[in-house]
Structure 1
Amino acid sequence: MEIPDMASKKRPCRPEMFDFEGISMTNFFTDNWEKVKNFQSRPDDILIATYPKAGTTWVSYILDLLYFSNDDPECQTSQPIYMRIPFLESCFQEFSTVTGTEMADSLTTTPRLIKTHLPVQLVPKSFWDQNSRIVYVARNAKDNAVSYFHFDRMNMVQPEPGDFNHFLQKFMKGKNVFGPWFDHVSGWWEKKQTYSNLLYLFYEDLVEDTGREVERLCSFLGVSTSVEEREKITKMVQFDDMKQNKMINHETIPFMDFKISPFMRKGKVGDWKGHFTVAQNEQFDEVYKQKMKNTTLKFRTEI
């Protein structure tokens, strides 16, 4: 897929959000909806699902290395990760004629690694019918909100975020692209109780002990790797190394403005403390208690 150079393009107009199937969306994720809804999964597909800015690229890269680093090492240095692991519902027609579903359909790898930010109720039915494996990654709400705010500042195909307080009020009301964080993480958590081919990972656990979580992934996926191989991969997926890697850090995407903020910013747990005021934190805790009162899901906001 050809990605045009940003210099040769005018900046896109930021999109408006609208209600779609009960969640906030923009046209970049609904324009190809019929094909997304009817996407044909395969039993050996692996779907990487997350709320935006919860460790999607991190886990995508881990899986990419687990499966393909030995088969096609050249790919790692020549092809951006978003081409190796297509974003299923994406349809950035201003920049590319190829949609996420077309990219997924044209993958020649086995397994096909595919990513999505869709809430569980909007995932194409074929993934469940085919019993495809799914890796979901969740991140605590406060850090997720901060990361999403900075992402919206630099990503021109996202709605204008305003200042942090404005963004945080929207986040608490669930008025972000891909809907409320609260429903997203708890919806997938409930699904895990009835769908055994779903591994639910926490961003905080990945930060705390990446090697341990890589082992969990290997065990879930039935991938046999040597200890040396796992250690090598664990080293390659450290945040600072990924941040420097142009094939991973999204630097080649034309609608992201790295002058405003890098795509991969800090990758830390507890960064929210530098953003939330005492009043915002108290308000957030109240909203959180209400929204999450019916779930057994627990998060850590520091480690």
Structure 2
Amino acid sequence: MENKELPPRPQLIDFHGVSMIDCFTDNWENIQNFQARPDDILIATYPKAGTTWVSYILDLLYFGQTAPERQTSLPIYERVPFLESNFHVIPSGTELANKLTTTPRLIKTHFPIQFVPKSFWEQNCRARNVARNAKDNAVSYFHFDRMNKMEPEPGDWNNFLQRFMDGKMVFGSWYDHVTGWWEKKQTNSNIHYMFYEDMVEDTRRELDRLCSFLGLSSSEEEKERVKLGTQFDNMKNNNMVNYSTIPVMDFKTSPFMRKGKVGDWKNHFTVAQSEKFDEDYKKKMKKPTLQFRTVV
């Protein structure tokens, strides 16, 4: 699709104190009234923190052997609907979720904790949150906004980084998001909090932990299959996973799956930017128990 055929880039709006765009808020009533089921699994992340990776891991763990045809016939955004999305080029996230015939239903969200529909908590659904260190998350988000025409114009890297620090991003502040889910986890044993850096460092170990949390008795061979299938290069080349079927994604600018590395921030931050970011981080990261690694 030519860029000229696409609507203009959206503008950020303030929505209940969180920066958002219309396509994630104009279906608000249906989202908030969404009826979760006890066996639903919610995949929660700040944008560009490993959402698709964990979505695909869970899809393969549950359905890789029982429904292998899904892997070649349905793109990941239909297998794991994006709850709050209302892009108009595909059905809304609530529609897709309500049409799912799988058990469990795998549903993803980028919502900060306070926006999650209350039925997920009422039904005691299991949720797994993935968080990524702020510097790498900012870099990945920058390249995502460059290529995704449904996101606000990113501007240059320096201005984008300032906006990231100020929380003027779609889905709001990284700090509020990761700490909000971290706090909820302290009182809710149904939340499994994972770190992107741990997954890169030892995918198999994190797979074992995830299976333990979910009560899955997957065989060693099955776990190895899942690990292989979800390796970064395999996902990047998989058209059912890499979002290449979505016309608003401009792969000539940047692929949806770019590097999948820890520490790529060093190729983007100047020394001055890094020092400024570190100072700001110390002021805003109020949870000493929530520790991130910027290298592995």
Q: TM-score, normalised by structure 1?
A: 0.96
Size of the aligned set, in residue pairs, is 296
Q: Which residue of 1 aligns with 2:269?
A: 276
Gapped runs of 5+ residues in structure 1? 1-5
* Match among 63, 68, 75 for residue 80 of structure 1: 75
State the distance in 2 between where 1:234 and 1:8 align. Answer: 36
State the distance in 1 between where 2:114 and 2:102 align. Answer: 27
**Does the CA contact (< 8 Å) of 1:50 and 1:56 recur in 2?**
yes
Query: Are residues 264 and 287 of structure 1, via their aligned partners in 2, closer, same or farther at CA, if it must alter by over 3 Å?
Result: same
Q: Which residue of 2 aligns with 1:51?
A: 46
State the AA in 2 paired with 1:266. Answer: K
State the distance in 1 between where 2:140 and 2:3 align. Answer: 29
**Does the CA contact (< 8 Å) of 2:38 and 2:123 recur in 1?**
yes
Q: Which residue of 2 aligns with 1:201?
A: 194
Percent identity over the alignment is: 70
Gapped runs of 5+ residues in structure 2? none
Q: Which residue of 2 aligns with 1:235?
A: 228
For residues 179-213 of structure 1, give each alpha carbon's deviation from its aligned partner in whole angstroms, at most 9, with x where no partner exists: 00001000000000001100000000000000111
State the distance in 2 between where 1:292 and 1:262 align. Answer: 31
Q: Which residue of 2 aligns with 1:17?
A: 12
State the distance in 2 between where 1:228 and 1:9 align. Answer: 48
**Does the CA contact (< 8 Å) of 2:9 and 2:151 recur in 1?**
yes
Q: Which residue of 1 aligns with 2:154?
A: 161
* Match among 268, 273, 279 for residue 286 of structure 1: 279
1:120-269 correspondence to structure 2 within 5 Å = 120-269=113-262
**Does the CA contact (< 8 Å) of 1:58 and 1:237 recur in 2?**
yes
State the AA in 2 paired with 1:35. Answer: N
For residues 258-296 of structure 1, give each alpha carbon's deviation from its aligned partner in whole angstroms, at most 9, with x where no partner exists: 000000000000000000000100100011000003442
Q: Aligned to 1:235, what secondary structure does the other structure show?
A: helix
Matched, 1:30 2:25: yes
How far is the alpha carbon of 1:7 from its aligned partner?
5.2
State the distance in 1 between where 2:287 and 2:250 align. Answer: 39
For residues 233-280 of structure 1, give each alpha carbon's deviation from its aligned partner in whole angstroms, at most 9, with x where no partner exists: 111111011100000000001100000000000000000000000010
**Does the CA contact (< 8 Å) of 1:186 and 1:295 recur in 2?**
no
Q: Aligned to 2:38, what secondary structure does the other structure show?
A: coil
State the distance in 2 between where 1:158 and 1:183 align. Answer: 20
What RMSD, in angstroms, separates the aligned Cα atoms of the two structures?
A: 1.0
How far is the alpha carbon of 1:52 from its aligned partner?
0.1
**Does the CA contact (< 8 Å) of 1:44 and 1:132 recur in 2?**
yes
User: Which aligned runs of 4 or more in structure 1 are off by greater than 4 angstroms?
Assistant: none
For residues 63-89 of structure 1, give each alpha carbon's deviation from its aligned partner in whole angstroms, at most 9, with x where no partner exists: 000000111111101110000000000
State the distance in 2 between where 1:151 and 1:244 align. Answer: 17
State the distance in 2 between where 1:293 and 1:222 align. Answer: 33
Q: Aligned to 2:19, what secondary structure does the other structure show?
A: strand
Q: TM-score, normalised by structure 2?
A: 0.98
